[in-house]
Amino acid sequence: MNIEDLGLIPYEKAWQKQKEAVSRVIAGGQECLFFCEHPPVLTLGRSASRKNLLVPPDELANRGIRVLDVDRGGDVTLHAPGQLVAYPILDLNRRGRDLHRYLHQLEEVGIDFLRGFGIVSVRVSGKTGVWVKDRKLIAIGIGVRQWVAYHGIGINVKTDLSLFSLIRPCGLFEGVTSIEQCIGNAVDMAEAKDRLGKIFRDDFGVQ
């Protein structure tokens, strides 16, 4: 698995890189994992309802926050600086073609990652993602083309949580949290990416 850190990158550019990587994997190329952060953007998945946007579009535009319809599953979510986004481009043809299992594996990656910070997190039945008590810390949404998966997970490391007041995250009424809020200490993003990369390699059994 090739791991590439894209840094702070507009959502559309990272999305395009994912689609190009999907085409390479379909053609037999190497699986990869992109790490990045995004400027503030709201994305709506295939099952999203615009009722979960809690601020009028003109106000969002005035604040420089774009709203994009994207080709992943799920409802509305927020990306912003301080959120570690991981986009694994993985061939599910060699992994059983089981989307539920794959989502479960992504949740396990998140749980293992948070455990390294001393954070106890859980799954919640019927709600994709990873939770700390009654607050969501990791959002998960995927897309699949010819059984090659893309999109992935967003981990609130040091995200400005006030931005989530713009939406009803994933259509849910529960709150959100971040790693820094949970542990009360600053987190180095480079170290977080390195740790997450190792967990991806271990959990998915790749070099």
Residues catalogued as catalytic: 170
β-pair partners for 89: 32
Q: Kindly write down the DSSP assignment for every residue of 158-176, as one continuous string.
A: S--GGGGGGB-GGG--SEE
The helix/strand/coil state of 151 is: strand
Which residue from 131, 132, 61, 140 is spatially nearest to 99, judged by alpha carbons?
A: 140
**Residue 26 region by backbone torsions, left for phi larger than 0, else alpha for psi between -120 and 50, else beta:** alpha
Q: Two tokens at 185?
A: 């200490």
* Residue that has been written with the tokens 């180095």 in this structure: 188
* Residue that has been written with the tokens 């085409």 in this structure: 23
